[in-house]
Amino acid sequence: MATGRQVKHGAGRDALLDATLRLIGKRGMFGFTMRDIASEAGMALGSTTYHFADRDELLRAALQRFADEEIGRIHNLLDRLADADPEAVLTAVIDELRRTNARPGATVAQLELYLAASRDPLIAESAARCVTAYHALAQRALTAVGVPPGRAADLARWVVALIDGFAVHAAAAGDATAIAADLPDALRALIDPTSTLT
C-alpha cells in the first residue's frame, strides 16, 4: 500500500527502480505487477505511469541501472587494485563477489539481466557493457597473478563464465547469495592447472 508521502520527481523514479530490482530478486521478471512495484516503493499506482510509460520501460530502466551500478563498482575495484599483489587481487575479487551477492536480489537480478538480454536488444546493450566490465576485472586479476596479457584476455572470459556458473548453481540450490567455498580453488585451477588445490 502506498504511504502517501511526497516524493520528488528524481527520488520517485529512483524509488521505483529500487523497488523493481528488489521485486526481480524476490519474484523474477514476471512475478509482479505495476501495482506491486508502487506498493513496494511506498508510492501511489499513478506515480508509475508518471515516470514510465509501461511495465516494460520500467523493467528495462531498472536492469540498465543495475548494469550501470555493477560497472561503477567494478571500475572502482580496478582502481583500488592498480598496484596490488596477486593474492590481494584474488582476495579482493572474492570479497567483492561476496558483497555483491549479499545485496538482496543482486544475483537473481544479474541472471535476469542476462536472460532479458536474449529477448530485448535495448537490455542486451546494458548486459554486454556489464559483461565487458567483468572481463576487464578478470583480466586485471589474471595479469596480477602473472598470466601474460594475451593469455589473460582469453582466460578472462572463462573466469567470468566460471563465476557466473557458480552463481547459477547457487540460485538453483535455493541460495542465490551463496559463494561456493571452493570458488577460489576453482579459479586457481583455471589460471594454473598444475596448481595444488588447498
pLDDT of residue 40: 94
Cell of 90: 584474488
pLDDT of residue 188: 78
pLDDT of residue 198: 47
Single pTM value for the model: 0.74
Cα dist from 189 to 36, 62, 103, 152, 165, whole Å: 45, 36, 28, 14, 15
The amino acid occupying position 32 is: F
Instruction: Give pairs for 25-29: CB < 8 Å, separation 24+.
Output: 25/104, 25/105, 25/106, 25/107, 25/108, 25/109, 25/176, 26/104, 26/105, 28/108, 28/112, 29/59, 29/112, 29/115, 29/116
Which stretches of the chain are DSSP H helices? Answer: 9-27, 34-41, 46-51, 55-80, 86-102, 106-117, 121-144, 149-172, 183-191
CB 45 within 8 A of CB 35: yes
Q: How far, rounded to the nearest angstrom, does the alpha carbon of residue 114 sit from its chain's CA centroid?
A: 10
pLDDT of residue 197: 44
Separation of alpha carbons 52 and 50, rounded Å:
6
**145 phi and psi, to 5 degrees?**
-95, 15
Separation of alpha carbons 155 and 142, rounded Å:
8
Task: Return per-residue pLDDT of the chain as tens, 198 residues.
Answer: 334 444 444 678 999 999 998 898 888 888 899 999 999 999 999 989 899 999 889 988 988 888 888 888 888 887 887 777 777 877 887 787 777 777 767 788 888 888 888 988 888 888 888 888 888 888 888 887 788 888 888 899 998 898 888 888 888 888 877 788 888 888 878 877 665 544
- Nearest C-alpha neighbor of 58 from the set 30, 32, 34: 34
Separation of alpha carbons 54 and 49, rounded Å:
6
